[in-house]
Structure 1
């Protein structure tokens, strides 16, 4: 058997190198399984930043307003948010990229660190955004009806490339099919925690991850949901992606925006 040892050593060596790349047990994160978005074709995307670093996503819903997730307030540790608009790369100079100060941060009064409920945040910019081909408002759904199961929607963000790794510099995107609330609420999935104000997408191998919270779920060109924050493990097919549906909150959104002007 001695003459086999170099062969066995080679097998062990190959096995180590291949499986070192696999890392099968841990989701890789980022927009998991996604790809770099075509530059500036999602001109509504916002990067919520603290001390010049991306912490959450968001999107422009009016000239002076960005919608995001209330849980993102936990990530700023008492420091002020700034909102980057017009960006594809977070670091490179781009013609219409601009950082805006935030005048007001209004989390939904029903939001809580304990649940996914009412996970919405409105940010009023210090001044109206300068609209151009790289900075545009995204319309949101006002009709309160569920997106049909199987509808393929898209989500984008600068979320982490792994649970411990660096954030990508350039905007990533992924397409995911909507799954029914009934399926999402199965015991093996989210066990009856998904309310009528939430929706879910399939998370098998492709998913949102840390840092994508607050970004829009866009179906047929309209924002239907907002990526919910929380401790869900990205890319775990048993834990579908959770989004806060926008239609049930249209009155709240419009009331907040109207009262601030």
Structure 2
């Protein structure tokens, strides 16, 4: 049995260098595990199973933080958002050396929850994008879905078939967790200042 590819930006294209200075490749023993993005010098927002930063990133022209959504409102259906990652780019598992990106339109939660799609499994804390031929998959997990310059959600691909229009891309919305993220960053930053 062949292992499942860790994921891929299907039907995307190479991202121009340094245009996404917030993107992070989280690696274990030099192997890409998942994506993420800088929200502060020492904080990468990603998924729980991904490694975290051990030291602060040095912010400069090519390394920058990305603002994330704090307001509790859904992105309008049809809004075209961007997503990027280093997941595999072919079904044979080939990994890209360079960051790949793709633009996808947002689907309404009702449409995504249709019984022929994700059948009412998409909660208010989740959102979806169209997955017809161009899509994200596991290796892209943890990366941001960016709409109008703001990170709205995090790629949470799960075990769905990538690139199948009947199984839209799934993301975890950030706004419901914004206060918690701020508390965690504030609490741990405060610990660093104590002798």
**TM-score normalised according to structure 1 size:** 0.68
RMSD: 1.4
Which aligned pairs between 1:11-160 and structure 2 lie closer than 5 A?
30-70=8-48, 72-73=49-50, 81=51, 123=52, 125-160=53-88
Q: Give the C-alpha shift of residue 243 in structure 1.
A: 0.4
Provide runs of 4+ in structure 1 moved above 4 Å: none
- The residue number in structure 1 matching 2:192 is none
The answer (yes or no) to whether the contact 1:69–1:229 under 8 Å persists in 2 is no
**TM-score normalised according to structure 2 size:** 0.91
Structure whose residues are more often helix by fraction = 1
- Is 2:161 aligned against 1:244? no
Question: Which segments of 5 or more consecutive residues in structure 1 lack a partner in the other structure?
Answer: 1-26, 74-80, 82-122
Q: Paired residues, what number?
A: 184
Task: Specify which of 69, 80, 99 is matched with residue 171 of structure 1.
Answer: 99
Task: Specify which of 122, 132, 149 is matched with residue 194 of structure 1.
Answer: 122
Q: Give the C-alpha shift of residue 127 in structure 1.
A: 2.5
Distance 1:259 1:141 in 2: 21
- The residue number in structure 2 matching 1:102 is none
Distance 2:160 2:62 in 1: 32
Deviations 1:210-260 (A, max 9, x none): 210000000000000000041111101000000000000001101111111
Question: Which segments of 5 or more consecutive residues in structure 2 lack a partner in the other structure?
Answer: 190-195
The answer (yes or no) to whether the contact 1:30–1:168 under 8 Å persists in 2 is no
